[in-house]
Structures are given as structure tokens and as C-alpha cells.
Chains A and B, each alone.
Chain A
Amino acid sequence: MEIPLRKAKVSREGEFVVVDAKGVHYRELNEVINELVEKGERKLRLINVNGQRYIADGLRCDCYIEIHGVAGDDLAAFANGPTVVVFGDVQDGAGNTMNAGRIIVHGHGTDIIGHSMRGGKIFVRGHVGYRVGIHMKEYREQVPVLVIGGTAGDFLGEYMAGGRIVVLGLERLETYPEIAGEWLATGIHGGAIYLRDEVDEDRLGYGAKVEKLTHDDRRFLEAEVGEFCSIFSLNPEEVLNAEFTKVVPKSHRPFADMYSDAKEG
């Protein structure tokens, strides 16, 4: 009883090209998106999306893509420039190795969002899952930014090598009210995490420490949280009027001595 896959229906609605993704396999959907972008279309609205993977992956353009529904795994992976707005939740791995562009999620996200991200910005209004921002990195002016409106699960910023993560904790979970889970920033060796709350040092992972915010940190938060608030219609003064905790690496080489005994034989 195979569920037959459908062809994507394409229509126009004002300045938007509308693609109906109902029952469309991800390969077909992404081919349609790529063709439209190649033809010079810059505003796409994908409706009835439900779990299709790899949407907007590797796109090199400044196009604007709206997604209505649940965006599947690896949304906008390797993307280089597009703005992707999801009116719904995102599944695992959104923004994987993204280079430039923006992902805006009005719902919640699950695990490894911003995995190995190296540029661009991700804004998630709701909560996110485990290992968010794992191995984010930066190079000179390429500094990725990830802002979460709700809370984050365990291993936030694991092995983080660069970039900035901000967690606002505007809403809390009943059973896990903490702003971020355990093993926070395990193995971090670059970048910084800002949490709009106090953080129990017991929850910090290996290689992480808490540091005082500087004037530059405050200015950074004003800019990025300001942008977050304007996207999601929040009052930036209220959101910024709180104590933040900054988590940074203890050293740039937390595992430098790990294999030294082996080397000596």
C-alpha cells in the first residue's frame, strides 16, 4: 500500500511563487526550488510542507523562502545567503554547516541545530533539543549567531570552536525549568554562549567556565537580541533587562594533554 508521491503544484500569488509540497518527495521539492531560484525567482512560499528534508540546502542566493509546516532534517544545510522563515517546527540539523543567510523558526526545534555552522544567523522562537550549536566555528569576520527564545537541552555548544549562542529562556518547561541542560559547552574551545539566567557551575561541561560580560558583550546582545525581538514582535528593553551569564572556554586546547602519555609510549 505505497502512498503515491505527488508532483509539486506551482502557482503565483503576488510577488511570491507558491509551491504546494503536499505529498511531494524531498528530491522533487528541492529540484523545483532550485529551478525556480535559477530562473531568477527570489520569493518562494512553500505550503503544506511536512518533514521534507534538505530544503534550501546549498542555495547560493539572497532569496527569501517561507515554509509553512514542519521543515524536515538538515534545513538550509550548507546554505550561502538565503533567508528561510519557518512557520512551524524544524526537525534535526537545521543550519548544518551553513555559511551565510538566516533561518527564522517560529515554532520549536529539535537536536543539533546549527551543527558546524560557520556563518549566518539562526533565530528560533521556541525551545530546542540536544547538542544545539555543536561544533560551531568562526573565521575572522565570519561569526555565526544562534539565538534561542526558549530553553535548550543538554550539551548546548558541545565542542564549540567559535561563533555565538544566545539563550533567552523566555518560556520555561514545567519539568525542566533550567535555561539550558547539563554538560553545557562540553569541550568548548572557542566562541561564547550567553544565557539570560544564572547557571549552576555543576552543569558546565569539561573545558567550560563562566566569565563576566564586557561592554562589547552587552553591545553584541543589544544588536542580536534586538534583531530577535523585532522578528518576533517582542519588547527588546524588557528582554535585555536581565542578568546574562557568559560561558567561554577555559582554554583553546582543552584536550591538549589527552594523548600525551600515549605519545611517550
Chain B
Amino acid sequence: MCGLGGILNRYGERMSGREIIRMSCMMRDRYDGRGGGFAGYGIYPRYAEYYALHLFFRDEVAKERTEELLKDRVAIIKDEPVPMRRVREIPPENIVWRYFVEVPHRFRDRKEYQEREEDYITELVFTINDCIDGAFVASSGKNMGVFKATGMPDAVAEMYKVEKYRAYCWITHGRFPTNTPGWWGGAHPFNLLDWSVVHNGEISSYGTNRRYLEAHGYKCRLLTDTEVVAYLFDLMVRRQGLSMRTAAVALTPPFWKQIERMPEPKRSVFTALRMTYSQAMLNGPFAVIVTNRDTMVGLNDRIKLRPLIAASSEDCVYLASEEAAIREVESNIERLWAPRAGNPVIARLNEEVREEVIH
């Protein structure tokens, strides 16, 4: 039984990490201490144009090898240890370092530069995770970062000084691993570029999804099911240009029985999406929160086997496993509801939050 939470300030105003830590603490009885984490967007305004790579190294050798690779592939603008406190509950298992990098100039002259650059960074992330023993990338987006470890979220927050960062969007996760190992890389959020995912439940279709993603060049190396969700959004929304709503239809489509009852042309569209993305479809019980630089999405499995509550106030949109976690940090809730199975709740900067009715 994991717990997840998220806050998006609709106007892009940045909040300290304190609220998300309180939300996470409210759900402490859902976790067992084998994974906790946070992702914040807007935390590095001075380096906003650079990719912020958060890296975990088991030892100096892994760090040296990774730095050799980085120097070969990107320009490092700045690098430093991620500021950390010693906390009793979490043994210092990894060296945690951050690098602000940009892609060398010779890549900038090419056509479709943006897409190429992001693919270039993706390839770098997978090379590190796959080829360098004892090194992996915790996050690789711009102006954002993931802070995670094996421990309860409050201890993880204490260790990384999460309360000192300011972000316009925060997500959090406390883990209760059931099927896969509890380790720093297996803690949530999972990230690629500026996609981050927190997840409660199981992706039973992991094997199928993984093979599908590997056919598109993704490498699943983090020993747990959740990472496929981050990569599926990257593939479908960033690379293939689907809207969040359409991606959600493909990932949690209505049942055939429901599609048959739909009027045309909706029926044909849904049929085509189900058939095209049959291997991307997510099965099993889950609630996820997926974020990128301007959006926070909450999504449940197709028969709602995990809890998820959404709420909005004048300034913020909230998602959490429990209503109590939202009420703990927001006393002026305008609307609070339980989204329906398979319907994405889409919160975007400068827009009204909406539950897309696809089921």
C-alpha cells in the first residue's frame, strides 16, 4: 500500500517543500520505509536552460566513469554535490551529485533540434543506467529534480533539505514494496527528461509494456514496474505528439463492451487507439501521478483498484491517495472529488483542472 501526493500551483507560483512534506507525512501509515521521494518543478531558476542531472553513484569509480562519459557527450556548466544532511534513518549509500549540462553547439544547427536534443539526453541517461556499474540517473529534466532514497519520505525530505527548495509543482511518494526490491533507484518518483511518475499498485502488464518500449529504444533498468509509465508518456506525448487525453485513452482504454456502445466516430477512434497501442495498455491495479514541466495528471486503472482523490482551491490543484492529506495542507478547498476509473485528471498551468471523461 503506497501513498502518493501532488500539488500544482496553477499560476506557476513557487511553494516551499513544506506542504508536500506534510501531505506525505499524513499518509505515513501507508509506507514501510523502503522508499520515499519527491520531485519539484521550478527549483533551479538560475540554471533553467540546462538539463539538471541528479545522479546516484555507489562509489568514486562509478562517479569518475560517469564524468568521463558526460564530458564526452555534453558540456557541464556546473556540478556540485546535492546538499544533504546526515539522518539517522538512512545510511549514506550513495554519492549524490548534480550536473547542469547543455548539449554541445554542433548539435544546435540541425533541423528538428529540440526533439533531437531530448533524444540525445535520453540516450545519455540510458547509457549511464545500462553501462556504468553503480551509477544511475535519478532525474534529467530542466529546472526540476528528483530527491529519493530508501527510507520514509519525512527522513528523505530531511536528508535532502527538500523544505529549502521552491517549486510550482511537487509530487511525493512513500513506498511499501511488494514485488520488487527496495533500493534507492527503485524509490519513486521515476523520471526521464521532465517526466516524473509516482505510483501506487502494480503494473501487471509490465512485461508487454517493457518489450514494446525496448522496441522503441527505451531501456528498463530500474528493477521495478513503474518506470514503464514514465517512458510510455515520453514516447506517446513527447515523441509521437499525442495529447495527454489521447495518451490516457491508449493507456487505460474503455472495455470493448463500452466501446461498442459508443456513437461514431468516437467508436472508430477508440477502436483504432486500442488496437494501435495494445502493447502500451496498462493493466493491473494502480493510481499514478504523472508530471512534466507544465502539467500534472492523475490516473487510475480501468476498474479503480487503488485510491485517488483530486481537489482544487483558488490557486492549487491537489492529488493524493487520501482526502485527509489534502485537507491537511489546504483549508479553502473549492472542489474535492474521487475521479472515475481510467479518467485522467489533467491540471495544467494557467488552466482549470478537468477530469477527462473517457470511461
Contacts and interface: CB of A to CB of B under 8 A. Distances in A.
A92 B324 contact: no
Contacts of A2: 25, 154-155, 158
Interface in A141-158: 153-155
A53 B321 CA distance: 14
A51 B22 CA distance: 13
B323 A89 contact: yes
Given A1-B154, A51-B322, A111-B307, A154 B18 contact: no
Given A1-B154, A1-B157, A175-B355, A51 B307 contact: no
A50 B324 CA distance: 5
B124 interface: no
Contact of A1 (B158, B325, B340): B158
B341 interface: yes
B357 interface: yes
B229 interface: no
Interface in B302-359: 303-304, 307, 309, 322-325, 327-328, 338, 340-341, 355, 357
Interface in A90-124: 91-92, 110-111
B53 interface: no
A130 B327 contact: no
B296 interface: no
Nearest to B300: A130
Contacts of A87: none
Interface string B32-65: 0000000000000000000000000000000000
A80 B27 CA distance: 28
B59 to A, nearest CB: 29
Interface in A122-173: 129-130, 153-155
Given A1-B21, A1-B154, A1-B157, A91 B341 contact: no
Interface string B159-188: 000110000000000000000000000000
B338 A3 contact: no
A51 B18 CA distance: 19
Of B163, B307, B357, most buried by chain A (CB within 10 Å of CB) is B307
A70 B261 CA distance: 38
Interface of B: 18, 21-22, 25-27, 29, 154-155, 157-158, 162-163, 258, 261, 303-304, 307, 309, 322-325, 327-328, 338, 340-341, 355, 357
23 contacts: A1-B18, A1-B162, A1-B163, A2-B155, A3-B21, A3-B22, A26-B29, A51-B327, A51-B328, A53-B29, A69-B327, A70-B323, A70-B327, A72-B324, A73-B322, A91-B324, A92-B307, A110-B307, A110-B309, A111-B307, A153-B304, A154-B341, A175-B340
